Amino acid sequence: MKKVFTLVIVMLVALTSSKVFAQSSDYKKFSLGIGLEGALPVSGFSSVYSVGGGATLRAAIGLDKSSAVTLTSGVIVFAPKSGIGAGLKAQVNIPVKAGYRYMFSDNFYGIGEAGITFAKIYASNGQGGSISATGSEFTYAPGVGLLLGGFDVSLRYEGYSSSGFLGARVGFNF
């Protein structure tokens, strides 16, 4: 996992180093956005979970008019399908991702992020209480979005090693 983080950092430095020295003042250098998330499980997730939702914070550090480094984190909760055994209650994911956003036009952008997701799964212990298990996994998330003033709407695939989900985010940037 340490090698993955080192690789992500090296990629971010390589992508942004040429842009740092070519700064101009006609772009927003920093923005912070809050968003509501919707998630539709696919791959391995879809056999266990039906839907997910949550909230995220995204910081964008502008490098020039068309590019920015992003940092995203939040909470996304997945509800299990009915009839799943072992009293499964929910899975709570906390992604921590860094990435790069490129503006293709004034409003349309592409974004790629990578990082780690911390997950906690809750289940019934069969005696009126609950038990939980935790873990973490490498996460990657390519997507596209639309910026309309302060509003940010985006679609992405957020993947793990053996599963993932289609995500939609509606947010507002300050």
13 or 165, which is more confident: 165
Q: What is the pLDDT of residue 128?
A: 82
CB atoms near residue 2 (< 10 Å) = 6
What are the chain's domains? 2-173 (2.40.160.20)
For residues 158 and 145, what is the distance between their CA atoms, to the nearest angstrom? 14
Q: What is the pLDDT of residue 144?
A: 98
The two tokens of residue 119 are 């997950």
Fill in the DSSP letter of residue 57. Answer: E
Residue showing tokens 């072992």: 86
Mean pLDDT of 119-141: 92
Q: What is the pLDDT of residue 2?
A: 57
Could you report the per-residue pLDDT of 6-63, keeping only the tens digit for each?
Answer: 544 555 454 444 444 444 457 889 999 999 999 999 988 898 999 999 999 999 999 9
Q: Counting every residue, how long is the chain?
A: 174
Geometric angle at alpha carbon 170, from 166 and 171, rounded to 5°: 135
- Phi, psi (rounded to 5 degrees) for 147: -105, 120
What 3-state class would DSSP assign to 121?
Answer: strand
Could you report the per-residue pLDDT of 77-90, keeping only the tens digit for each?
Answer: 999 998 776 688 99
170 or 127, which is more confident: 170
How far out from the chain centre does Cα 78 lie? Answer: 14
What 3-state class would DSSP assign to 104?
Answer: coil
CA-wise closest residue to 88 among 47, 147, 38, 137: 47
Mean pLDDT of 150-173: 96
